[in-house]
Chains A and B, each alone.
Chain A
Amino acid sequence: METVSDGDIAAAFQKGAPDALSGVYKRFSPLIYTVALRSLRDQRDAEDVTQQVFVAAWRGRDSFDPERGSLAGWLVAITRNKITDMRRARQRESGALREAAVLGEAAGREPDPAGSPPPDQVVDRIVLADELGRLGDPQRIIMLMAFYTDLTHEQISQRLKLPLGTVKSHIRRSLLRLRTRLEVDGVAR
């Protein structure tokens, strides 16, 4: 259950308060790390990318504009770039990029097949998981049951011993909240 709002964290970050980076890391590092880990499938690379993201975010904090988007969205955008860079670096090391470049040039294509950002859906699923994790009790357990079991909302209300109206209302508001979060921080359009 969140105790500090994302808005407060972003405000402290912008001001450059001494412990602001640790607050941002505390809140967002699982999101960033999981996106990197799922995209790169290598723990060491994911750690490196995560480190690069937070260092770059700190150094470039003046360029974060809350009017233009959320801090989470900004960090995810940096992450996607760093993942792209990491993939390109790996490709260069393995020589595969050279091969692909040769083939690509022969075919008249731009030589950059695999140094691309992670698929939008991968990122969105993780953003969704992040928001699900921030739902309080009993909203989260209601949504887990609603998403991942066969139970109807009536059965959910019986199991949890909550009034039917309460369950319906939680479902509605939680779905809206998840939708809003994806709109703000998601990638797929």
Chain B
Amino acid sequence: MSHVDPEVLALLALGETSGRPQDGEHVPDCPDCREDLRQLASVVSLARSSDGNHWLIDPPAGLWARIAAEAELDLGPHSGLTGPMPLGSDLVSSAETSPGTDPINTARTRPGQSSPRLNRSTAPPVGASPAKAAPAGPAPASAPPGRVPQRSTGSSSAQTDPGRGKSAGRGQAGAAAVSRGQQDPPTQLVSRQRRPWWQGPAVAAVLALVVGAGLVLGVQHLRRAPAPSVIASIALRPLAKFPQWKNASGTAVMESDASGRQLEVRLRAPARSGFYEVWLLAKDGVKMISLGDLDHSQDGVFTLPPGVDLGDYSRIDVSLQPFNGNPVHSRTSVVRGTLP
């Protein structure tokens, strides 16, 4: 008894008619062929059941720096990190990215940006226009590769500015200029070193043939913008003298771009009444500069005042402030970290 040609089984799994009449008779009687066909067909059915919402999305740039900061807890003291410098090359693969940026391979390929279901008889509503990622709900499935899924706040923001959203920096005013709960996450358009294969002209022509008139697979042209470079990435830890915060943690990532320095602080602390404020503490333990408040997600991105001497103001501190209108540091530090 000869089994069915594996290529025929693959085509049968795809739903094509294939093979000879004797194949059709063989399969029901042969457990091996039946099982092979069943397995291949289940792969096909899994693929076809994807509604386009399962293509991979890159995590936002900046996440790596937070991971490196938190994991560094276990790598011992900041050996090799003396003074502000790009995130250590021993922590970031420098193969395709500029120093200090996200190690994601920004040239990773992904099939078209829209729903892959290209049935000729029904024209699905695919084809986000190249200029925008069109989120349906919180998870923008059609986000173009390499683009951060963006939470739009509607405020004038970093829509076109490739650097960290300057408008999100709250400076020293304390009071948040952006309403709590709405904050632009950094919108990083990471520069690409190579064109993905699907941007090649030959493939674009093929895809045009495949989809025919009226459907757009959205081969996107990505703006090449210089990515900001990370100059420090540290973990923030609770202080022994405040045992009520022993389960709190946080990260602080400082980046530098054409417009200056930005500090992104993320806190993980239990909810308490009051609000969290971020400070730079001077070496004398007395002078301090307020950078602003964290939002309700315990996030904040702050533009550093130009000219701040980070050699003196080297510690980042997060305090819990009561709603009593007093701008002074409450003396309750939740977490703290020292810039290298």
Contact = CB atoms under 8 A, between A and B. Distances in A.
B64 A22 contact: yes
A150 B89 CA distance: 48
Contacts of A13: none
A92 to B, nearest CB: 11
Interface in A73-114: 93
A37 B14 CA distance: 30
B48 A147 contact: yes
Contacts of A31: 56
B139 A37 contact: yes
A64 interface: no
Contacts of A160: 206
B110 interface: yes
Nearest to A48: B268
B57 A34 contact: yes
Contacts of B197: 1, 137
B108 interface: yes
B23 interface: no
A59 B72 CA distance: 10
Contact of A133 (B40, B109, B120, B203): B109
Interface in B90-116: 90-93, 103-105, 108-112, 116
Contact of A18 (B91, B111, B185): B91
Contacts of A149: 118-120, 210
Interface string A103-127: 0000000000000000001101110
Contacts of A93: 271
Interface string B36-56: 000110011011111001111
Contacts, number: 185
A141 B206 contact: yes
Interface of B is mostly: loop
Given A51-B66, A141-B206, A147-B47, A26 B56 contact: no
Interface size on A, as a range, is: 35 or more
B89 to A, nearest CB: 8
A145 B48 CA distance: 11
Most buried by B among A37, A50, A151: A37
A102 to B, nearest CB: 23
B209 interface: yes
B246 to A, nearest CB: 18
B60 interface: yes
Given A126-B54, A129-B55, A22 B46 contact: no
B40 A179 contact: yes
B149 A178 contact: no
B210 A159 contact: yes
Interface stretch (B5-13, B285-293, B320-328): B5-13
A27 B57 CA distance: 12
A159 B56 contact: no
Given A128-B46, A169-B7, A171-B7, 17 more contacts: A22-B64, A25-B103, A26-B105, A33-B57, A34-B57, A37-B139, A38-B53, A43-B151, A50-B63, A55-B70, A125-B54, A133-B111, A141-B206, A144-B116, A149-B118, A175-B40, A176-B10
Interface of A: 1, 18-19, 21-23, 25-26, 29-31, 33-34, 37-38, 41-44, 46-48, 50-51, 54-55, 58-59, 93, 121-122, 124-126, 128-130, 132-133, 137, 140-141, 143-153, 159-160, 168-169, 171-172, 175-176, 178-179, 182
